[in-house]
Amino acid sequence: MTEILIQNADTILTMDDTRRVLHGADVLIRGGEIAAVGQGLQTRGNVVSGRGSVVTPGLVNTHHHLYQNLTRAVPGAQDALLFGWLQRLYPIWAQFTPDEMFVSAQLGLAELALSGCTLSSDHLYLYPNGSRLEDTIHAARDVGLRFHPTRGAMSIGESDGGLPPDSLVEEERAILDDMIRVVDAFHDASEGSMCRVGLAPCSPFSVSRELMRDAALLARDKGVMLHTHLAENDEDIAYSEAKFGCRPGQYAEELGWTGDDVWHAHCVKLDVQEIDLFARTRTGVAHCPCSNCRLGSGIAPVRAMRDAGVPVGLGVDGSASNDMASLTSEARQAMLLQRVANGADAMSAYEALEIATRGGADVLGRPDCGRLAPGKRADIAIWDTGGVASSGSWDAAALLLAGPAQVKHLFVEGKQIIRSGEITTLDLPQLIERHGKLARALASSF
């Protein structure tokens, strides 16, 4: 079995059960697993120098819309609140084909890999012109990232009082049938799985109460996780109170959308009772600080969530609301926003990195990922702290306080995906050229 030794790293942030921080230490990879973490390790296999570097578990992205990489910085959506932003973009997304879905997912996953991400979820909730969930699954296989796609859906169009145009909604029986199809075809529940599938009606304002309940029942029957948007901004809260007569947390609880097999995106406006509900039920949260800032949604109460025991991970969200996908940027922003809201000692760089690694893995139900310990998956990021951005730094907290912006080496399941800052699994310049042509073609139509 192939061995790789990451040797003599300046610092290793293990994120193991005791949160050990090691100096001048090694990580031994054997096959797809971590065989040992410590000092003075030996191998007859390949050696990768850790000198001048900080080693962390691969970062984990708990919320994304990969298809949106083709609609960054769209005029008319750049300065809009959530509902207006959606109404501007829906007609553009309605033109997508399977090719746009595939290429956008490839580019988005490559971008994530360069930011140190080894495990990403994705929330795909629209399927125009024959697009299918496997368009993104095939892209993830090509890039080499561990993937947790979710079969999203919208079923209430404009004619029925919803936000999306009728052309982007689906009949609910067809949605449930396709959910069964993709879970049966692609979900792998085994430890070390490279692909797990979740079920993810888009939001309480784009699907019916019945579909929310039926998706929850189906997920429990199939043993898969549930995901949706919840309590994202003031508009979201007002809609829930007017339409359902309750706050979003209560609505979720009534329909079976709490538990350790559920994670909700954003949760910017959770109140004290909802935080307590999520803590008691171990319901997860995908915190998307950059997108929340971009859309003016507010500062999520992450300090209160963490203190109560709510599982919290980070999400980059879609590139139409964040414009870039960097998990180090999300971790830094999460730290800074909690300090703005609660004081300079509200969140350390180390806690933000824990949320970005172990925290995200736990939200996605992946205790086999997100930490560097024997028996865990060999998903490892190596960061060069000898460059101009980090020069002069005294501590590994420099990863968030002073850079670097991109990872030096990245391993997923023991395979090297990034080597010396370059992706190894595809031709990135060619992909960027193809992606740019598709984006320009879309822009010329609008």
Q: Which domain holds residue 296?
A: 59-363
For residue 394, name the pLDDT band (cuts at 50, 70, 90): confident
Q: Which CATH number characterizes residue 180's domain?
A: 3.20.20.140
Question: How many domains does one find in the chain?
Answer: 2
pLDDT of residue 84: 86
Instruction: Give the global pTM.
Output: 0.97
35, β-bridge pairs:
none
Cα–Cα distance for residue pair 400/397, rounded to 1 Å: 6
Cα–Cα distance for residue pair 178/285, rounded to 1 Å: 26
Q: Which amino acid is at 423?
A: I
Asked, for residue 23, whether it belongs to a domain, the answer is yes
What sign has the CA pseudo-torsion 162, 167, 171, 174?
negative
In a shared domain, residues 102 and 46: no
33, β-bridge pairs:
30, 377
Q: Which CATH number characterizes residue 416's domain?
A: 2.30.40.10
pLDDT of residue 302: 98
- φ and ψ of 359, to 5 deg: -60, -45
CA angle 407, 329, 413 (to 5 degrees): 40
For residue 369, name the pLDDT band (cuts at 50, 70, 90): very high
Asked, for residue 409, whether it belongs to a domain, the answer is yes
In a shared domain, residues 50 and 122: no
Residue 128 structure tokens: 């125009």
In a shared domain, residues 115 and 24: no
pLDDT tens, residue by residue, 134-165: 999 999 999 999 999 999 999 999 898 888 89
In a shared domain, residues 17 and 112: no
In a shared domain, residues 313 and 352: yes
